[in-house]
Each structure stands twice: as C-alpha cells, then as structure tokens.
C-alpha cells in the first residue's frame, strides 16, 4: 500500500473528518448554487416584509430592508469561504518558503528568519489586523493580503522543524553526493516530503482565517455592505437585535443564522484538519517505506552506483 493510499484509508475511518468534509462540501455547494437558483436575488428588497420571521417563503426570515436572509447567507458564504481558503493557502505558501529556507540553510540565515518569525508571533493579532485593514482598506484582496501577511508564522516554524530532520536523512545526503544543487534538493527531494504536513497546516488555517475575516467584518473593517459576508451580517444585525420594546431577541434570526454558519464552517474545517493530522503521521513522512522520503530517486541510485 502506498503512503497516500494509507492516508486516505485512515481518513475514511475517521468519522469526525468524514462528517467535517461532508458539512464543508455542502456549505460550498449551497453557497455556489442557492444564490443562482433561488427565486430571491441577493439584492431584492421586499418592503412589505421587513423583519419578517422565518417562513415558507423566507426560510431564514428577512432583514431591515426586506432582503431574504437565507440567500444573503449563502451568498455571504462565497465571500467568507473564499477568503478563508485563499488566506490559508497564501499563509501556507509563505510559511513553507520561509521554513524550508530557514531549516535547510541553517546558520545565520536560520537565526535571522526565526527571530523575525518570533517577532511576528509576539505581535498581538487582532490590533495588527485592525491597523492593517485601516491602512490598506477593506477590499476582498486587501483582506486576504492582511490575513496571509500575519498568518504564516506557525506554518514556518512547523516546516522548519521538519526540514531540520529531513536534511539529515540518507536520501538528502545521497543527493548531495550526486552533485545535486541546493535548489534541486529543496524542490525535488525535500518539498515533496513536506506536502502532507503543509496540507494539514493549511486546512487548520482555513478556520482561523474565516474567524478573522468575520471579526474584521463585524468591526466594520472587513467586507463592506452591500456585499454580504457572515461577519458584516452579524454587525448589521446588532443594530436591530433589541426590539422596539427593548426586549432581547427581536429579530433573533438576523444573528442566529449567520453565527450558526460561521460555527458550522469552523467546526467542519477543524474536524477535517484533525482527521488529516491523525492520518498523516510525521514518522511516516520522515522515513517509512511507504513515504516519499524513503523512495529512491535517480540521484540516490547514481550516488549508490558511484
């Protein structure tokens, strides 16, 4: 059985990971399809149904402008999920590059990069994100850039630690003896062995990015209305959560449903990440007969022949 087949088998037997994948897939599909097939457009206003509670025609009720909340949540899912995936992927790529160079180069390069990483980790996240959003603006691309710029550090430290172990492996020594350049060793021999770990880090990073985007939008520095996102829907709902009589809970659906979808997205991604982390054993990456690290490459065979 190959390494990846073993990973897939372990993931399939991880019930929470399977459930998380199913929920996340349904969220993605619903966000893509519902705004297209729904009789209500995301910007349609029903002025005769302001603050209408959930009903057959409006499953999640309507907001202060008569917008269908269900359609806006599904459309907002496109924004929030895209920001989460894009920011987590960008963070993983930056962190992988920094950690790979730091761990492989060692010496002063490692010291400089890790001290910079430690400095970035010591900065309080939320204030920095708020300041970044204030300076760069609140566009979709800017939010992704901000989240990626301040989210790569955990991946960098993880990749650096694994790289320190990988560079002492026999297949790397064989590649050096065969005359492979440092770039070739990094790209062809070490990077493929880091892919499983980076996948886990990126998956777990999606939930953090979704929460961060929701927090920025809730504070008015993220995605701006009229474009809906789960965070700014919560922010707008807070202006109306107290009813005319000053009693809590009117209209409750404006906060419950966006909050529920944030919770579902974060939990489903965390379950997937936990399943992948359990299935991808670092010991397999660092030397199992089924891992890429243990598979002889052309450079190793040449070195052995020499």
Q: What is the pTM of this model?
A: 0.83
The predicted pLDDT at position 92 comes to 95
Structure token digits, residue 267: 């939990």
Provide the token pair at 148: 């990626």
pLDDT digits (tens, 9 = 90+) for 89-135: 999 999 999 999 999 988 999 999 999 999 999 888 888 888 888 88
Whether residue 251 has a cis bond before it, omega within 30° of 0: yes
Q: What is the average per-residue pLDDT within 285-295?
A: 41
Residue 96 Cα distances to 175, 186, 188, 259, 301, angstroms: 21, 11, 15, 32, 28
Mean pLDDT of the chain: 84
> Band of the pLDDT at 25, cuts 50, 70, 90?
very high
pLDDT of residue 213 exceeding 50 = yes
Homologous superfamily assigned to 13-39+72-284: MetI-like (1.10.3720.10)
Q: Is the pLDDT of residue 300 over 80?
A: no
**51, two tokens:** 């603050």
> Which pLDDT belongs to residue 250?
67
Residue 242, SS3 per DSSP: strand
Report, as an integer, the average pLDDT of 163-180: 86
Query: Has residue 286 got a pLDDT over 50?
Result: no
Q: Which of 188, 123, 193 is nearest to 163 (CA)?
A: 193
Q: How many CA atoms are closer than 13 Å to the CA of 267, on its beta-carbon side?
A: 10
pLDDT digits (tens, 9 = 90+) for 179-191: 888 888 888 888 8
Q: What is the DSSP letter of 221?
A: S
CA distance 64 to 300: 67
Report residue 174 as tokens: 């064989």
Nearest CA to 85 out of 25, 41, 134, 157 is that of 25
pLDDT digits over 36-49, tens only?
888 888 888 888 88
Total residue length of the chain: 306
What confidence score (pLDDT) does residue 243 get? 53
pLDDT in tens, 138-152: 788 889 999 999 999
């Amino acid at each position: 059985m190959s390494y990846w087949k073993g990973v897939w088998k372990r993931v399939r037997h991880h019930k929470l990971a399977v459930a998380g994948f199913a929920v996340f897939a349904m969220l993605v599909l619903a966000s893509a399809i519902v705004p297209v097939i729904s009789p209500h457009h995301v910007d349609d206003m029903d002025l005769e149904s302001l603050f209408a509670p959930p009903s057959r025609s409006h499953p999640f009720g309507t907001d202060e402008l008569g917008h269908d909340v269900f359609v806006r949540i599904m459309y907002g899912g496109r924004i929030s999920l895209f920001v989460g995936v894009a920011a987590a992927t960008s963070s993983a790529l930056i962190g992988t590059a920094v950690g790979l160079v730091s761990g492989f180069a060692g010496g002063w390069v490692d010291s400089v990069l890790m001290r910079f990483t430690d400095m970035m980790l010591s900065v309080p996240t939320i204030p920095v994100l708020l300041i970044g959003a204030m300076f760069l603006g609140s566009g979709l691309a800017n939010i992704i850039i901000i989240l990626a710029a301040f989210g790569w550090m955990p991946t960098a430290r993880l990749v650096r630690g694994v790289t320190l172990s990988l560079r002492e492996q026999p297949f790397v020594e064989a590649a050096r003896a065969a005359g492979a350049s440092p770039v070739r060793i990094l790209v062809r021999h070490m990077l493929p062995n880091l892919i499983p770990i980076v996948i886990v880090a990126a998956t777990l990073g999606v939930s953090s990015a979704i929460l961060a985007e929701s927090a920025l939008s809730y504070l008015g520095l993220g995605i701006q209305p009229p474009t809906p996102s789960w965070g700014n829907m919560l922010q707008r709902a807070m202006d109306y959560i107290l009813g005319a009589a000053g009693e809590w809970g009117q209209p409750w659906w404006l906060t419950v449903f966006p909050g529920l979808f944030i919770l579902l997205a974060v939990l489903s991604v965390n379950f997937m990440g936990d399943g992948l982390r359990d299935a991808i054993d670092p010991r397999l990456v660092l030397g199992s007969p089924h891992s890429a690290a243990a598979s002889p490459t052309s450079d190793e065979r040449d070195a052995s022949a020499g």
